[in-house]
Amino acid sequence: ASAYLTKFSRLVRLILENSKSERISLENELDSLQLYLEMEALRFEPKLDFDVKIHPEIEPETILLPPMLIQPFVENAIWHGLMNMPDKGKLMLSFEKENGSIRCVVEDNGVGRKRAAEIGEQNSIKRKSYGMTISQRRMELLQKENLDIPEIRIEDLGHNGHAGSGTRVTIHFQVD
């Protein structure tokens, strides 16, 4: 409980600090994502395993992006894809340079979007998800302010031609 509360208080402080800024460093975003993932791993132990990879050419302290851009996609992967699995799930978060931009990939081996929606319909306890709505509003604000809008692609993964074995979210954002 003590470890969880310590991480939670650090995460809340980071979110409050980051929310004051239009742009934050990738380093700050990574700190908050790491704390969030550690908290969820503690909470759902032993159902969640995660891995964060950053290409060595990326200098996280020099790259700026809108705060909380990636977290809603990580949250969706955990809550909708991985927690609906009977076995341990894996979330992979990676950052690479690509054609003058940064490519962030959030990938899970969960049940997939279609199955997650079916489970959500069957679940008697409805949990309203705000992550995608918040992300959409953030993109609209960036567009209004004529700022670079990250390109986001969501795809269902499958094995041997079958859907339902995970989701991949790819986010491209420009580097100044």
Say if residues 27 and 65 touch (Cβ distance below 8 Å).
Answer: no
For the stretch 68-77, pLDDT in tens is: 889 999 998 9
Name the strand (E) or helix (H) holding 96.
Answer: strand 89-98
- pLDDT tens, residue by residue, 78-107: 988 888 888 889 999 999 998 888 999 999
Integer Cα distance of 145 and 147 in angstroms = 5
Contact 31, 71 (CB under 8 A): no
Residue 139, Ramachandran bin (φ over 0: left; ψ between -120 and 50: alpha; else beta): alpha
More confident residue, 20 or 115: 20
Quick: pLDDT tens for 37-50.
Answer: 999 998 888 889 99
Nearest CA to 84 among 124, 112, 105? 112
pTM for the structure as a whole:
0.84
